[in-house]
Amino acid sequence: MRPNLTKKITLSTHLPRTTPAPASPKLKVLARLALPLIAAVTAVGMIAAPASANRRQDAMSWALRQRGCPYVYGGTGPCSNGFDCSGLVVAAYAKVGMALPRTTYEMLDSPLLVQISRSQAKRGDLAFFGPGHVEMVDNPNVSFGADTSGVPIGWTVSTPYWEPTAYYRIRGAGRT
């Protein structure tokens, strides 16, 4: 048997009024502290949270702040100790929560890297100059990194004599 669904049901709009129970002094203090505490925890979470969905760009932003640091063969930072080419790349991606192999040779053998064309290269992707040197792409014609002894960390413009031989994107670092 089916219920009759055509009947109207009315609810009373007059609800009995109740007065809330008085809050204890301890509860009042806790309530006053809760909002600033929640705000502080939220702010700390935003600051200490892992990088955004586009970690490649965040890694590049961190690397750019190392401009002028010295090149030091085998250097892994911080700036006062200097970086070599792969040391800068590894440190930049570590800052956004991604672990990369330490050397260019290990990077090239890593399944974390996916080869892309020059036209696909975006800011923060990797530009390899042979198997022994890596920099971060700023745009397809300019890379950023630790170039060589005596030259501080900065930009490198591609020329016919100094041009990346391959470009790579890091899996999980962002698509755009």
Q: What is the DSSP letter of 118?
A: G
pTM, two decimal places? 0.70
Q: List, in order of start, the domains of the chain with CATH numbers.
A: 55-170 (3.90.1720.10)
Are 42 and 64 in contact by the 8 Å Cβ rule? The answer is no
Are 63 and 144 in contact by the 8 Å Cβ rule? The answer is yes
Q: What is the pLDDT tens value at each position of the chain, 176 positions in all?
A: 555 555 554 545 555 555 556 666 665 655 566 555 555 544 444 444 444 569 999 999 999 999 999 999 999 999 999 999 999 999 999 999 999 999 999 999 999 999 999 999 999 999 999 999 999 999 879 999 999 998 999 999 988 888 999 999 999 998 65
Tokens of 130: 């042979």
Q: How far is CA 29 from the centre of its chain?
A: 39
